Amino acid sequence: MKSLKTISRWCLGLLFMAAGVMHFLWTGFYVRIMPPWLPWHRELVVLSGISEAALGLLLLVPRYTRYAAWGLIALLIAVFPANLHMALNPEAFAEFDPSMLWFRLPLQGLLILWAWWHTR
């Protein structure tokens, strides 16, 4: 079980590091998915990108794994409004199939459960 958890931790960590980098490669896209009621769109995209990459990296350090996993859970909850905004406004994201936008919502829950496993 320990080796499975180590592999899982590395997969999750690398996933979030890559996702964090994407915030800087495709900043315009991430700014576009921000709900209009949130302020400082670009700044929040940068902050979430840094947070994803840093928490993904910290997840790989056994001493910080538990804290990083809790941080990822908080981050996933914090970015949920952007995913909900996309699902509720599919016309603004015509490049995606609307069903895929809705699929992302339960995917957030699975990512939260995956991170939660690493808090134990």
46-88 tens-digit pLDDT: 999 999 999 999 999 999 999 999 999 999 999 999 999 999 9
Per-residue pLDDT tens digits for 4-62: 999 999 999 999 999 999 999 999 999 999 999 999 999 999 999 999 999 999 999 99
Please list the alpha-helical segments (H only) found in the chain.
Answer: 2-25, 27-32, 41-59, 65-88, 98-117
DSSP state letters, 48-76 = HHHHHHHHHHHHTSGGGHHHHHHHHHHHH
Here the tokens at position 99 are 């069903």
Question: Of 42, 45, 55, which Cα lies nearest the Cα of 13?
Answer: 55
Domain with 6 in it: 2-117
Task: Count up the domains in the chain and report the number.
Answer: 1
Confidence (pLDDT) at 2: 78
- What is this structure's pTM? 0.92
Confidence (pLDDT) at 86: 95
